[in-house]
Amino acid sequence: MATSTQRVALVAALASSLALARPASALDAADPAHAVRAMTLGEALDYAHAHQPDLRAAAARVDAVRAAGSVTRARWYPTITGAAEVLATTTNNSTGSYLAVPGLDNPRVSATLARSAGTSSLSPAPSSLLAVGLRQEIFDFGRISTQAAADDLRADAQRLSLSGARLVVDETVAEAYFAVFAAKAVVRAAESAIVRARIHRDQARAGLDAGLRRPIELTRTEALLDRYDLGRIRAGRNVVIAEAVLAAAVGVPEHLLDISGAPPAPRDLPALDAAFEAAERNPDLVSALTRLRAQEKQTRAFAAEERPNLLLSSALSGNAGGATPSSGSVAEAKGFAPVVPNWDVGMVLSWPLLDETLRARVRQSEAQEEVARQEAAALHERIAGAVEEAYAEVVAAREALPVLSRALNAAIANYDQASARFDAGLGNAVEIADAEELRTSAEIELAQGQFEVARARASLGRFLADGTGGA
């Protein structure tokens, strides 16, 4: 996506006059050796939605958050744990020993040796265990469902953030698209000025040769022609800048992207009250409110961890101990072969009666709720202010267009009169140069005014989410 610095530089370049534009480089947008790919605004937006790196990253974040939600729901599935152990231990209270394995509930069923303190021994005896255990959640008292609801809200918030990111891309693409159109209008104005200046230069030369004009008339027209020729070169460079910004905004692999067809007219402007109402549905704002709801649900999920938990536990095992039992014979293979079978099925109810860590998590989540609440309130104010500012810019830019059009018509009429006087030998080079400057400036200002309308409407469209780049 084009950075804000790039956009500011582009707008500054378009807002400058031809004499203040950037110097030209060897790369010229009009150079036939550099064929540039072209798109309509609709095509550019469709391509950006599918390929723009920022949007693809945002879509990947949506998938990641959704995957996190599946982790919570997986707690409803059974877990199966296998274990195999061979160990040597003292056997002062049991002929068989084993180590506890997470996820494996193995009841102690080995024979007991009732040794007195005087008959205790520190000599080890072998023990072995081969077991498979199963755990199944039976009833969680709302812990899993509450956490899953929080995860779903986070996924919704991330999806809305993706919609907000798409609106930012739409605004950037539309702004860059209209900037290319405006930059080309400046080039056309410069080229037209060159044609007219060349005609007056030739007339001044002919008048000088005929003795009807002074040398200053010719030098002034030549200076004016060179000025517009230089302006054309610099304006061509501004087209390249605008196309580079458009290519970055759309996300095409090429360094430049041109426009094709006539740009669509900006969308109609809604009433201000309707604009504020539409802004309440802005995806970024709705996403912030959804994140707040998710955090509130997360607080309840942490609190639910203090509730009981009911599990089904089952295990199938074979074990043996090599110590001499208090009754019966010694185990086969001296305890190295787990050949004594056992199985069990039971229900386990656990309840964390006192766990300060869980309570601390609740307090931390409540603090994060307040952060999310304040951030949502601040975003609401920023969006309201941005809507009012963008709305005012659209209104002002639209009101300026008729004035700019009248100024251009007047400048053209003034130029026609000055040109007629110059052709008849009544006007001088200063008069025609002033008329030419007025006309060319009016043409450029009209192009800039049309760009400002499109740019402001695209900015407003981002906050209202009312279309593709406000067009």
The answer on 41 and 162 residing in a single domain is yes
Would you call 335 helix, strand, or coil by DSSP? helix
Instruction: Give the residue among 343, 350, 348 at the shortest CA–CA distance from 135.
Output: 348
Please provide the average confidence, as pLDDT, over all residues in the chain: 83
Examine the pLDDT at 18 and tell me if it is beyond 50.
no
Q: Say if 471 falls within a structural domain.
A: no
Structural domain including 93 reads 78-139+309-350
Pick the most confident of 6-15, 120-129, 228-237.
228-237
Q: What is the mean pLDDT of residues 69-86?
A: 88
The answer on 193 and 220 residing in a single domain is yes
The answer on 419 and 371 residing in a single domain is yes
Question: In whole angstroms, what is the distance from residue 398 CA to residue 456 CA?
Answer: 10
Q: What is the mean pLDDT of residues 389-403?
A: 94
For the beta sheet containing 309-321, the strands, ordered from the edge strand earlier in sequence to the opposite edge, are 79-89, 125-139, 309-321, 340-350
Beta bridge partners of 227: none
Other CB atoms within 10 Å distance of the CB of residue 374? 11
Question: In whole angstroms, what is the distance from residue 173 CA to residue 45 CA?
Answer: 7
Q: Say if 367 falls within a structural domain.
A: yes
CATH number of the domain residue 41 falls in: 1.20.1600.10
Counted domains in the chain: 2
The answer on 324 and 229 residing in a single domain is no
Indicate the pTM of the whole model: 0.76
Beta bridge partners of 345: 314
Q: Which residue type, as a one-letter code, is found at position 160?
A: L
Phi, psi of 210 (to 5 degrees): -85, 0
The answer on 52 and 167 residing in a single domain is yes
The answer on 228 and 165 residing in a single domain is yes
Each residue of 34-43: pLDDT tens digit? 578 999 999 9
The answer on 318 and 189 residing in a single domain is no
Phi, psi of 310 (to 5 degrees): -110, 120
Q: Say if 470 falls within a structural domain.
A: no
The answer on 450 and 322 residing in a single domain is no
The answer on 205 and 318 residing in a single domain is no
What separation, in Å, do the N-terminal and C-terminal C-alpha atoms of the chain show?
19
The answer on 227 and 313 residing in a single domain is no
Examine the pLDDT at 98 and tell me if it is beyond 70.
no
Element (H, E) at 342: strand 340-350
Each residue of 32-77: pLDDT tens digit? 445 789 999 999 999 999 999 999 999 999 999 999 889 999 999 9
Q: Say if 355 falls within a structural domain.
A: no
The answer on 118 and 88 residing in a single domain is yes
Each residue of 313-361: pLDDT tens digit? 888 888 877 776 666 666 677 778 888 888 888 888 888 888 899 999 9
Q: Which two tokens stand for residue 76?
A: 């409803």
Q: How confident is the model at residue 275 (pLDDT cuts 50, 70, 90)?
A: very high
The answer on 435 and 412 residing in a single domain is yes
